[in-house]
Amino acid sequence: MSSLPIKWAPSVAIALVMVLGMAIVVGRAQKKQENAADDVKREICITFNELPVARTFEETDLDALTYLVLETLDRHEVAAAGFVVGQNVGTNFDILGEWLNRGHVLGNMTYAHQDLHEIGIEKFISDIEMGHETIEDMLSGFGQKKRYFRFPYLHYGDNTNAKRQVNLYLDHQNYVTAHATVVPEDYLYNLTLEKLGKYPDSAEYDALLNEYVNHVLDEVERCQLLALELVNRPVKQILLLRMNRLNAIYLDEMLRALTDMGYEFVTLDEALADNVYDRPEGYYGGRGVGYLDMLYQSDPDLIPAQ
């Protein structure tokens, strides 16, 4: 399939492109200095949920958000993964095609982004199938070989039967489950950004930037400490970000901060090749958490045998 044209909205340079003149994230320079003498290899994959754009309370300029995210990923030479909610696509296949044109991979996040814990096995599998049908022709046309799936809300099933039946279906359809380890509360920070309006005061804007990016960095470090406790080594982390205005305008600073901490960016396939993602888990909590937390909080009596 040939490259699809995409038209970027003129508002790119108005409401969203406010990254010039940003203050350096508080503590980033210190972290860089602390990690300079550390030879431990740090690797992380960047992923985005709810493509083409996450639903919010404010009107969203989809072209502008996509432009900012893709340009930032290009600048940092990041090959990311995005997970598509089928009913949100509408006529925006050109937007998704641009992700593929830039060397990123796309995955299925169901059609209606429904919760397995609420709708049950049969309806959830039907929602996976509808999401698959929405993007399959496009993925085949662009030559993407693998099919990825991410569970909405990171809800893998609240009982052994649901988890087993859905995983059997995914295996039968040759889906690779795209786990995540680092799961920041970016939706809460995005709500705060929305409350600041389209043209926030620079002091408020910079304060939110520092608070949010440091929140992400703290979660990354927490997950690496958890990895050391679980498997006695660093693991290839997978960062989950929602495709929203917050991450579009703060992504550049976040990726710079991760680089300063010594992280290298890897693809989803490279991250999932870490055998920590092959470890069976027995987590049935109601809260969606990252995979390392699922392993840590697993009920030892419910962990499947390998």
Summarised one tens digit per residue, pLDDT across range 241-296 is 999 999 999 999 999 999 999 999 999 999 999 999 999 999 999 999 999 999 99
Please write the tens of the pLDDT for every residue from 142-197.
Answer: 999 999 999 999 999 999 999 999 999 999 999 999 999 999 999 999 999 989 88
Helix H or strand E encompassing 125: helix 121-141
CA distance 176 to 57: 32
Number of compact structural domains in the chain: 1
Q: What is the per-residue pLDDT across 200-222, written as a single tens digit (0 to 9) for each?
A: 788 898 999 999 999 999 999 99
Tell whether 22 is covered by a domain.
no
Residue 230: per-residue pLDDT: 97
The model's pTM: 0.89
pLDDT tens-place string over residues 10-63: 344 334 444 433 444 445 444 444 444 456 789 999 999 999 999 876 777 899
CB 43 within 8 A of CB 270: yes
Is 55 a member of any domain? Answer: yes
Tokens representing 148 are 């990825």
3-class secondary-structure state, position 130 = helix
Q: Is 301 helix (H, G, I), strand (E, B) or coil?
A: helix
Q: CA 100, 103, 104 angle in degrees (round to 5)? A: 65
Which distant-in-sequence residues (6+ apart) come within 8 Å of 300 by Cβ?
Answer: 282
pLDDT at 57: 64
Indicate whether 264 belongs to any domain: yes
Nearest CA to 251 out of 73, 106, 83 is that of 73
The pLDDT assigned to 38 comes to: 58
C-alpha 40/C-alpha 257 separation (Å) is 17
Write out the E strands in 99-200.
105-108, 147-149, 175-177
The two three-digit tokens of residue 143, written as one number: 């030559």
Query: Which residue has better confidence, 301 or 199?
Result: 301
Inside any domain, residue 257: yes
Query: How far is Cα of residue 110 from the mean position of the Cα atoms in its chain?
Result: 15
Specify the CATH number for the domain of residue 241: 3.20.20.370
Does the CA dihedral 242-282-110-176 come out positive or negative?
positive
Range of the domain at 219: 42-296
In terms of C-beta density within 10 A (0-12 exposed, 13-18 middle, 19 or more buried), how is residue 81 classed? buried
- Domain assignment present for 240: yes
In a domain, 302, yes or no: no
Name the band, by pLDDT with cuts 50, 70 and 90, for residue 1.
Answer: very low
